[in-house]
Structure 1
Amino acid sequence: MVQIPSLTTARLTLRPMIYDDWEPYSAMMLSDRARHMGGPFTKPAAWGIFCADHAQWDLFGCGALMIEDRETGDLLGQVGINSGPLFPEQELGWLVFAGAEGRGYAYEAASALRDWARRERRLSTLVSYVSPENKRSRSLAERLGAVLDDQAERQDPTDLVFRHVL
């Protein structure tokens, strides 16, 4: 079994998922906030994604971490490196819960996990699949230093693919 990392930044703890994360996660996945990720999802579909996010650690050595505020312990969202048969390449992805947007949490979390992937997994590249309508995620990918890669394979032909060179 793979040791799932816990990472810390100036403001955040990125930690393994626990069952108590399910309710806030499912509330987001069942809401319109999930529209840029193929949602809103049904509760069974959201459960499957939640479980897959965790299972990827044992199967592929990467997966999702929950984002917590170090000071308050508030759950803010999730960041992950997605892998497996549904992803043509390893993907750096993120989501933040309602009320946590616009504060730099996704940037801080994604930067930390990207750096972990380079340092610990020795990855040389990651991609981020972004819905063209998701202006915030497009801006975040660019802020992280990723560039559009029109040649990259994608599971959804409408997605933009941003390449992170590590």
Structure 2
Amino acid sequence: MIPTLETDRLLLRAQTMDDWQAYASLMMSEDAAQMGGPHTLEDAWGLFCHDLAQWPLLGTGALMIEARDSGECLGQTGISYGPLFPEHELGWFLFPGAKGRGYAFEAACALRDWGFGVRGLKTIVSHIDPQNHRSRKLAERLGAELMTDPDRPGPEVLVYRHKP
């Protein structure tokens, strides 16, 4: 039910409890400020469970990004949906030390293509904090276009629309 996707350098796989500590550390840090954080331990746990629970409920969810050569968990990419998301939303984050090597681009491309292709989604967007310049550049590198008047989860969120 939860896909495993492979790219040249990455394995995108279901999360496990082995991923929890790095996930919680990131979500409770200042690095999570552009993802609604920093979060409490309780909120981080809820987000972690939410990322996994979406798969059986909605047919999409989050996948951990793992380096194929070392097995190191580098971060996460996911397609979220449900009552908090007006459309399927592609997101990503990397753990400290993994940024600047193209991992988020490679992982997001693979999951976006899976979403449009295998899953048959008609639309995918990315919700990005206006101050998150790295994610905005990544969305543009992925070919997504900034929308001028979309449905959004909050007035401060930018919405980038991806193309199949």
**Normalised TM-score (structure 1):** 0.97
The aligned counterpart of 2:21 is 23
1:29-79 deviations in Å (ceiling 9; x for gaps): 000110001100000000000000000001100000000000000110000
User: In the TM superposition, what are the counterparts of 1:1-166 in structure 2 within 5 Å?
Assistant: 3-166=1-164
Q: Structure 1 residue runs of 4+, over 4 Å off?
A: none
Q: Secondary structure at the match of 2:52?
A: helix
Q: Secondary structure at the match of 1:55?
A: helix
**Normalised TM-score (structure 2):** 0.98
Aligned partners of 1:124 and 1:165 also within 8 Å: no
CA RMSD of aligned residues (A): 0.6
**Residue identity (%):** 57
Q: How many residues align?
A: 164
Structure 2 residues not aligned, in runs of 5+ = none
Q: Hey, what's the Cα distance between the residues in 1 that align with 2:85 and 2:131?
A: 20
Give the drift of 1:88: 1.1
Q: Hey, what's the Cα distance between the residues in 1 that align with 2:111 and 2:25?
A: 24
1:90-122 deviations in Å (ceiling 9; x for gaps): 100000000101100000000000010111111
Q: Hey, what's the Cα distance between the residues in 2 that align with 1:153 and 1:119?
A: 24
